[in-house]
Amino acid sequence: MRTGNKIAWIYTWLMMGLVCLVGLLFYLLTAHSINRIYNSFLAERANATAVKLWEKDELDEVSYALVKKRYEQTLPSTQEIILNADSAGTRNTLSHYLGEEQIKSLFEGELIYFDQNDDRQGVALYYPDNEGNFIILILSNNRYGEEILNRMGWFLLAALLITALLIHGIGKFYASRVVNKIDEAYQSEKSFISNASHELNNPLTAIQGECEITLLKPRTPDEYQSALQRIADETRRIITLMKHLLFLSRGDQEILRSVIEPIRLDTYLKELAEEYAVPYTSDGTATLVNANPHLLDVAIRNILNNALKYSDGKTVRISLAERQVTIADQGIGIPKKEIKRIFQPFYRGKNARDFKGNGIGLSLSYRILRLYGARLHIESKEGKGTQAHILFD
C-alpha cells in the first residue's frame, strides 16, 4: 500500500472512530431522554387513574372533568392493573413485574419504573386512600419512541457511511499533498547533496590533476607559477562555495542579528552600475532600506553577475522605481517550467549548464532578500532574456 493511501486509511479509521463515538453517545442520550419523557407520561397516567378511581367524591364536577380528560389524553393505549396493597396475594402478583427491593421501595411510597420482557415499559404507584391502600400498575409499549430510535439508527448509519466516504476522500487528498511535499523535500535534499558533492568534487579533481601533472617532471619557475595559480583559483572557488554553504546553514535569527543599518539604495545602485559599467535609471527618489550592507551587496551582486554571465555580451540594465529594483538582461532566458526551481540551491537550468557556475548564488540572494522583507520575482522568456524584480517593503 502506498504511503499516501496508508495515511488516508489511518486518518479515516481514526476519524470514523471519533464519529462513531459521538453518534453512539448522541443515540444513547436521545434514548435516555425518550425513556425519561415516556416514564413521566406513565407516572402521569398512574396518578390520573388513581384520582379518577378514588377522588371523585372529593372533587367538584369541573375538577373531576379535567382529571378525566387528562386521563383519557395521557397514553390511551395502556394496560392497567389495580391491586389491593393489603391483600395477601399482592406481593406474589407484584413479583411478576418487580424485584424484591423494588417491591419494598414501592410499599415505602416510592414510584417504581420497570421494563417487561415483551418490550413494554411500566410504572408502579402505591396509593393510600380512605377506602384502603392500593397499587396501580400501568404498562404500555413506547411505539413512538421505538420508531424515533429506529429511524435515528438508520439515519446515523447512513450519515456514518457518507461521512466515511467524505473523510476518506479528504484524507486521501491532504495525505497526497503531504506525501508529495515530503517527497519533494526528500528529492530536493537528495539533489542538494548530489549537486554539492559534484561542485566540490570538480575543483578538488582539478587541483589533484594539476598537482599530479606538475609533479611528473621538473618544471620551469614560470610553469610552477602557472600551475600554482590554477590551484589557487580552484581553491578560491572551493572557499567561496563553502562560505555560501555555511551561510545557507545558518538560522534566520542568527543572520538577522548581524549589523543592520540604513542604506541609500539609489546611491548604492548608482555606484554598482558605474563599477560594472552598465546603464542605470532611477525615478530620483532617495530610497532608504534597512539591511546589513555586506549581505545586501552579496544578494544584488549575485543577481547582476548572473545577468552579465548569461547575457551573451548584450546590454544589462539596472533601474530603481518606487522601492523596486529591476535588473534586466537580453540573454538566454530561463525555460518556463524551470522558473519555479531556480531558487533551489545548486539548481541550474538545462540551457545554463555550459556556463561556469555552481547554481548557489540565486538561492543565496533569495534568502537574504526574504530575511530583510524584500520579495524577489523573476520574469523570463527563453531566448529573449530575464528580468529580476526586487521589491522592498
Give residue 170's pLDDT. Answer: 81
Looking at residue 331, its pLDDT comes to: 87
User: What is the C-alpha to C-alpha distance for residues 8 and 10, in angstroms, rounded to an integer?
Assistant: 6
Q: What is the separation, in whole angstroms, between the first and last Cα of the chain?
A: 48
pLDDT of residue 253: 61
What pLDDT digit, counting tens, does each position of 273-314 carry? 999 999 999 988 888 998 888 888 888 988 998 899 888 788
Burial class (CB within 10 angstroms; exposed 0-12, middle 13-18, buried 19+) of 301: middle
Q: State yes or no: pLDDT of 190 exceeds 60.
A: yes
* Residue 198 pLDDT class (50, 70, 90 cuts): low
Q: Rounded mean pLDDT of the chain?
A: 82
78 or 123: which leads in pLDDT: 123
What does the alpha-carbon distance between residue 159 and residue 20 come to, in Å, rounded to a whole number?
10
pLDDT, mean of residues 366-371 = 86
CA distances to 24, 305, 388 from 332, rounded to whole Å, are 66, 14, 14
Please say if the pLDDT value at position 390 is more than 90. yes
Q: How much is the average pLDDT of 332-346?
A: 82
Residue percentage of the chain with pLDDT more than 70: 82
Lowest mean pLDDT among 61-70, 159-168, 271-280: 61-70
Q: Is pLDDT of 1 > 60?
A: no
**Rounded mean pLDDT, 83-100:** 86
Instruction: List the domains of the chain with CATH numbers.
Output: 78-139 (no CATH), 252-392 (3.30.565.10)
The answer to whether 49 touches 80, Cβ cutoff 8 Å, is yes
The residue among 2 and 332 whose pLDDT is bigger is 332
Q: Which residues pair with 125 in a beta bridge?
A: 136
Residue 325 — pLDDT band, cuts 50, 70, 90?
very high
Q: Is the pLDDT of residue 103 over 80?
A: yes
CA-atom Rg of the chain in angstroms = 45
Helix runs in the chain, H state only: 3-54, 61-73, 90-94, 100-107, 143-214, 221-249, 252-256, 265-276, 293-309, 361-371
* pLDDT tens digits, 208-258: 998 989 888 888 988 889 989 989 988 887 887 777 667 666 655 655 566
Say what the pLDDT of residue 49 is.
Answer: 78
Q: Is the pLDDT of residue 79 over 90?
A: no
Q: Give Cα 58 to chain centroid, integer Å.
A: 72
CB atoms within 10 A of CB 106: 21
Q: What percent of the chain has pLDDT over 90?
A: 15
Choice among 68-77, 129-138, 315-324 with the minimum mean pLDDT = 68-77
Query: Amino acid letter at 342?
Result: I
Per mean pLDDT, which range of 15-24, 124-133, 342-351 is the poorest? 342-351
Model confidence over 8-64: pLDDT tens digits? 778 778 888 888 888 889 888 988 888 888 888 888 888 777 777 766 666 566 666
| pLDDT given at position 391 | 93
- Report residue 193's pLDDT band, with 50, 70 and 90 as the boundaries: low
Q: Give the lowest-confidence range in 13-27, 74-88, 344-358.
A: 344-358
